[in-house]
Each structure stands twice: as C-alpha cells, then as structure tokens.
Amino acid sequence: MSSVTIHQVAKAAGVSPSTVSNFLNGRPGRMLPETRARVEEAIRNLGYRPNRAARQLRTGRVQVIGLVVPSVANPFWGSFALHLEGAALAHGFRVLLCNSARDPDRERGYIEELWADGIRGVVLCSSLPSLDHVLPLVDQGLNLVAFDRTAQAGDPPSMVNISVDNMIGSQLATGHLLDLGHRRLAFVSGSLRSINRRSRFRGFREALETADVDPDTAIVWTGAPEDKYGDQYGDLDAAGLGRTAAAELLAADDPPTAVVAINDMCALGVSAGIRDAGLRVGEDVSVVGFDDIVLADLAAPPLTTIRQPLADMAAAAFAHLRDAVEGDGPVTGRSLLIRPELVIRESTGPARPL
Amino acid sequence: MSSVTIHQVAKAAGVSPSTVSNFLNGRPGRMLPETRARVEEAIRNLGYRPNRAARQLRTGRVQVIGLVVPSVANPFWGSFALHLEGAALAHGFRVLLCNSARDPDRERGYIEELWADGIRGVVLCSSLPSLDHVLPLVDQGLNLVAFDRTAQAGDPPSMVNISVDNMIGSQLATGHLLDLGHRRLAFVSGSLRSINRRSRFRGFREALETADVDPDTAIVWTGAPEDKYGDQYGDLDAAGLGRTAAAELLAADDPPTAVVAINDMCALGVSAGIRDAGLRVGEDVSVVGFDDIVLADLAAPPLTTIRQPLADMAAAAFAHLRDAVEGDGPVTGRSLLIRPELVIRESTGPARPL
DNA sequence: CTGAAAGCGCTAACAA
DNA sequence: TTGTTAGCGCTTTCAG
C-alpha cells in the first residue's frame, strides 16, 4: 500500500534526495557514472515512481489536457478522443476524458475538477450557446478550445473555436436531397438549443429557400414527447431518438420523402425506423446524416453524409492548447471554421411518390 | 494564471487557513454562523478552488479510479465507460479513461501514470494472457479489476476478474447457427492472442464437436495479411477487419454459409462485406456477433448476437474497487463469470445452398 | 560532484 | 470557536 519515496531511494543508493532528483530530471550529467549507476539500481530495485501530486505541487506544471465530450457512447466522440489522444501522446501529453451529456452543471463540474487538478488547457465539445458556466475559469487563465462550436460575439478573446461550417454542411446535405427531386423534407434532431445544431437547422432552411421551397412547410422534429432521462439532445441515445422520429413521421399524414438527420447516429436510427415501417431506405425514403462516422459506410445501405475532417481538427485543437499552456499567457484566438464535404452513398435516391 | 490559495481566502475572510479548511471539509459546524458566512463569501469572491495536488499530497487519498480500454472508438467500450462513470459518479468518484490499443507497453505506461497520480484502483480491459507488465504495481498495492478476462492460474490473489462466460457465449452463437442447419462455418477475428478471444474460439470448436462437425474443417480467419498499423486485434478498425475477411472468404472456393464474428463491430463489417459481394445477410450468409452494442439492433438486418450485461458488470467492477480503495488492504478476489444471453434477430437464417 | 534546506497548498492534531 | 504547527514528497537554489 505504501509508496516508495525519493528518500528511500536516496538511502538505498547512499546519496541524498537531491541527487536522485537530479537524476530524475534530466541532469544525470551532474554526477559520477558510478553514482548514477547506484541510483539507477536503487530505483529499479524498489520499483520507485515519483509521486505526481508532490512534483506538481512543487513545479506547478502538468503535461495534461482535458477533453469534455457529450458522450463517448457516440462513436464520433470516441474517434475524436482517439485522435486527440494521439496528437497529445506524440508530444508527451496525456488527455483526461470526461462525459458531460451536454449538461452545463456537469460541464462546469468537470472543468472545475480539471482546473483543481492543475490542468490549464481543455477542449470542450459542447456548443451550448452560453459558456457562462465556464467563463470564470477562463478569466482565471484556463485555456479553452471550444470544439464543434463557432465563435460568438460575447466570447472571451482568448477562446478558440474549432468547428466545421455547419450551415454549409447542412446546405450541402439538403441541397443534395433537393437536387434529387425531394420536396417534402423533414429535419430530425434532439433539442436545437446548441449552436451547431441551430446552424445546421439554419442551413436546412436556407437550402430550401434557395430552391424555392417554403421552409415552413418542412417538418421539424426535435424530441420525443416524454424525455425520461433528461437526454434532450439525444446524445445518450441518438439512434433511439431517430428511430422514434421516423416512426412518428411515417405514421402521419403526408409523410416526408427525405430526412436530414442531425448526425449519423441519429440517421442510422431514422434508417432503422424506416425499415420498421416496411419501407426501403434510399428508395422509398432518403436519409442524410452528418459526421461520417466509421459506421456510416458500413450501414445497409451505406449512409450519405457530411464528412468532418476529424484528425485535422483534433491536431489543430491540441496544437493550440500546447502553445497556450507551454508559453505563458494565452495565445490570442484564431478560430477555425472548416468546410465540410458531402459524401454521397446509397441512403439517398431520387424522389418518387410514396 | 495564478491560482487562489487557502491563505488568500483566509486573509480575505479575516480568519486562519484552518478555519477555511474546516469549512471546506465538511465541518462547517465548528464555527460561528457569521464566520462561516464570511468564509463562504471570500471563497465566492475570489473564485477559490482547492488545489487537488496539495490536498492529495496531504491526505494521500483520491476519489478516482482508472479505466483502461482497448479503444473508445469501439462503441462497446464507449458504453462500458459510460456505465462505469455513472456508477463512480454516484459515489463521488471520478474515472480517468485511457486507450491502450491492447499494447502491453501502453497499458503499463498508463497504469504507471495512474499509480503516479495516486490512483489505487483501476479497471483494466485487456485480457492479454499475461499481466506480467502490470504485476509489479499490483504487488505494491494497486487494486486491479481485469474486465473481459477470466481468472488465470498465475494471477495474484488480490486480482478480480469480471467477464462474461465467453465460451458459453460462443457455444450459444455457434449452436444457433448449427441449429439452423449450417455446416460450413467461419470464425472471424483479429489476433487470437487474448484470453477471451481464445475462449470464444474454444466455444466455437466445442459447439462444432458437439454437433459432430469436425472443427478442423471450419474456416478460421484471424487477420489481414499486411497489418499496417500494428492493429493486430482489429480494435482500431474491427469493422474494416470484418469486411476484409468477408471479401476474402466469399471469394474463395467453398465459402462459408455462416460466420461467427469475434464482436459486433466485426460482425457489422462482415455484413458489409457480404453485401459488397452481392449477397444477402441472413439469407445467403448468416452472421452472429458478440456484445450486443446499441448498433446491433439498428443494423439492416438487425444483428443476432450475444448480449453482455454491461451495466451490471460495470457496477460490480466499481463496487469492488471502491471497497478495496476505501477499506485498507485489498479485498480478496471474488471473480465474476456471467452467463451471457443469445439475442436472435435477423442476420441469421436457415442454411441454404449458395 | 553532492548535500542541506526551504517551501509548493493543504489538512488535522493539538493548543489556546 | 478559532489559530498554531508540522509535515505530505518533491524540486531547486545555494553551499560545501
């Protein structure tokens, strides 16, 4: 149970703690080779591992960044986490992963924990319109990258936003459906109370207007009547949400011939719902997703979607945080807005009468 | 950049640091209400957050457990992480998540980091046959729950294993196929060098024998010829692995009429590969998965699979760790071997000649 | 080339 | 009811 300390190592090697410390901190040149050998051996024999809390308390530094995502149960966030971790690891950093379920309280709670851990850089994937719950820490010096969220007027200058251009993405998706002749469209999502979701919705309407379709005639589905788990964004079960939506939409009079889903998991759920109703995806009803998760290409039929260049975005997020944390004082914000790409597969096809 | 300390709070409130500390540590009864109010206000005004490194250094305690999984990009692990986090949060614990890619070095690296962080309880999801790379820390007092791995003779007594009975699961899966009349079976997996995978493979063979089918006539596919990323278990891209496998298997002479996949992601890939070949899943070729991830039910056709009771297993893992970490000294091992359940959906159907 | 000493921010006896 | 004090394990000047 008890850990080995630097003193025990020092005694075992017949030297002082500071010599062991020098050895540990990249100054092995400051001692005779034989001393070094003794220290090395003592460390090995005792299985010594420096106590990070003590080290951190002394130096004030930590090579760790935090990552807060809505839910790793969504493979999109799982992949993003993996990419970010890869970038961090390559530079000797670790990443601490937290699931917020987009709950502002939980977000704040986790970020405060990270701050209390001495972590000064975090990637927040939330896109809640207000970041008020987190601003106090930003004021105190927390370096924040808001991922999947675009810059807002009230944002603190030190904050960096990295996101795909959601409006363009959504326009691409909707435009594709319109090009195929669809006129009766549905937009399926959980709560629209996050910035990127609103942008996607705006892109949807914009595209309709451009095609001279009255946006107000489109169907907008934003949540199940009873939301048992407070999962209003459908982050915990995006697929279930989509499936429910499809069931309701197709049971109604004048059902849509195509649906734009808020993300791929939701789109996969919508597809399942369409099949539940005895219809064929891509033939009877078209579906477009957003994200291009691995499973999009695996689905039957493979999902038409909007691709987010995850690896690049993760690398950019880490690079910024590293600069800010290693340097002193925050680097001023250069937000990134990346143009996404439409990937046409087989879940979309020409409109035909139901 | 600089953090607020307990001294500054004390000065601002006109009290001593210990009073602030008492307030912080659930002993607010030990001071006059007015004193308490002053302290409370000072904390709020200054935005004070206790430094966890210092606190931990002093108390030696941390309410954190570690979780090491092969890859959160696999929704199975993502869900498990979520369940474990839920259980932990309910008891005031946090969980630190790490991706190992089943690389022993990375596993050891992370676990050593966790140890250095003062964390004394971790859930390791690895099922590598040897845990030698991790044993030194277990000897020093690390409480380890090996998830997805069954007890081995050489394991230290303090170690607890929690797993589904993989052999039974696999027998159930294979037996189901056999019952449907399939005789030409394939087993698709990445490297079989992990305990649970071997058990699943053994279950597969066992079931064949029971049905009087010579196991040696079955096809065993365990990896792509060139493994570019060292991803020998297919953890990073289980689906891609399955897809490749299906392509190769179906192009060969005398292709299988049914395949047992090592897990659901792999099974989803196999299904995609079957469609790539112009065949129908569940009609021309049957597929069984393992895990019952959310997507299994969403696939087209929905995937027949073996369900793991994830929530229960996560709760058990946490409960054990909590007992071990809170109490002093490790609780002696009570490994759990849970019987999994066959979930029949539509990716399996009666055998018919190709 | 090596050691002594101070102190990072916090908690918990113990004193007052 | 509140304050004083002594470290937790480590790093880092500064002396020897």
Residue A3 is predicted with a pLDDT of 79
CA distance B43 to chain A (A): 13
Q: Looking up tokens 């490994």, which residue turns up?
A: B335
Residues in A closer than 8 angstroms to B49, CB to CB, are: 112, 115-116
d(CA B264, CA B76): 9
Chain C: nucleotides below 7 Å from protein CB are 1-5, 7-13
How far is CA A338 from each of CA A110, A290, A341, rounded to the nearest angstrom? 28, 14, 10
Which residues are within 7 Å of strand D by their Cβ atom?
A 3, 5-7, 17-18, 21-22, 24-25, 50-51, 54-55, 57-59; B 14-19, 22, 30-32, 35-36, 54, 57-58, 60
**3-state SS track over A182-242:** CCCEEEECCCCCCHHHHHHHHHHHHHHHHCCCCHHHCEEECCCCCCCCCCCCCCCCHHHHH
pLDDT in tens, A112-129: 888 888 899 999 998 787
Nearest CA among A126, A140, A129 for reference residue A98? A126
CA distance B211 to chain A (A): 33
* A56–B298 C-beta distance less than 8 A: no
CA distance B292 to chain A (A): 13
- On whether the CB atoms of residues A70 and A77 are closer than 8 A, the answer is yes
Residue A212 is predicted with a pLDDT of 96
* A97–B141 C-beta distance less than 8 A: no
DSSP string, B269-338: HHHHHHHHTT--BTTTBEEE-SB--GGGGTSSSPPBEEE--HHHHHHHHHHHHHHHHHSSSPPPP--EEE
Interface test with B, best of A107, A120, A295, A346 (most B CBs within 10 A): A295
Q: Straight-line distance from CA A184 to C1' D3, in Å?
A: 75
Strand ranges of the sheet holding B143-147, from the earlier edge strand across to the other edge: B94-99, B64-69, B121-125, B143-147, B160-164, B336-338
Q: Is the omega angle on the peptide bond into residue A301 within 30 degrees of 0, that is, cis?
A: yes
pLDDT along chain B (354 residues), means of 10: 81 90 81 88 89 89 91 93 93 89 87 88 88 88 91 86 96 98 97 92 97 96 78 86 96 96 96 96 97 93 97 95 78 84 98 72
The nucleotide minimizing the C1' distance to residue B55's CA is C10
Chain D: nucleotides below 7 Å from protein CB are 1-5, 7-13
**CB of B130 within 7 Å of some strand C atom:** no
d(CA B319, CA B302): 34
Closest CB to A73 among B78, B97, B113: B78
d(CA B80, CA B297): 17
Interface test with B, best of A45, A52, A61, A110 (most B CBs within 10 A): A52
Residues of chain A short of pLDDT 70, as ranges, are: 1-2, 228-229, 328-333, 353-354
A148-170 in b/e form (b: 16+ CB < 10 A) is: bbbbeeebeebbbbbbbbbbbbb
- Biggest distance spanned by C-alpha atoms of chain B: 87
Residues in A closer than 8 angstroms to B52, CB to CB, are: 53, 113, 116-118
CA distance B352 to chain A (A): 22
Token pair for residue A84? 């970010």
Residues in A closer than 8 angstroms to B2, CB to CB, are: 141
* B299–A51 C-beta distance less than 8 A: no
d(CA B40, CA B36): 6
Token pair for residue A98? 């937290």
* B53–A54 C-beta distance less than 8 A: yes
* B329–A1 C-beta distance less than 8 A: yes
DSSP string, B203-257: HHHHHHHHTT--GGGSEEE---S--TTS-TT-SS-HHHHHHHHHHHHHHSSS--S
pLDDT in tens, A170-198: 999 999 999 999 999 999 999 998 899 99
Give the number of other CB atoms < 10 A from CB of residue A89.
15
Calculate the CA B203 to chain-centre distance.
21
Can you give the length of chain A in residues? 354
Residue B293 is predicted with a pLDDT of 95
The nucleotide minimizing the C1' distance to residue A49's CA is D9
Residues in A closer than 8 angstroms to B1, CB to CB, are: 120, 140-141, 328-329
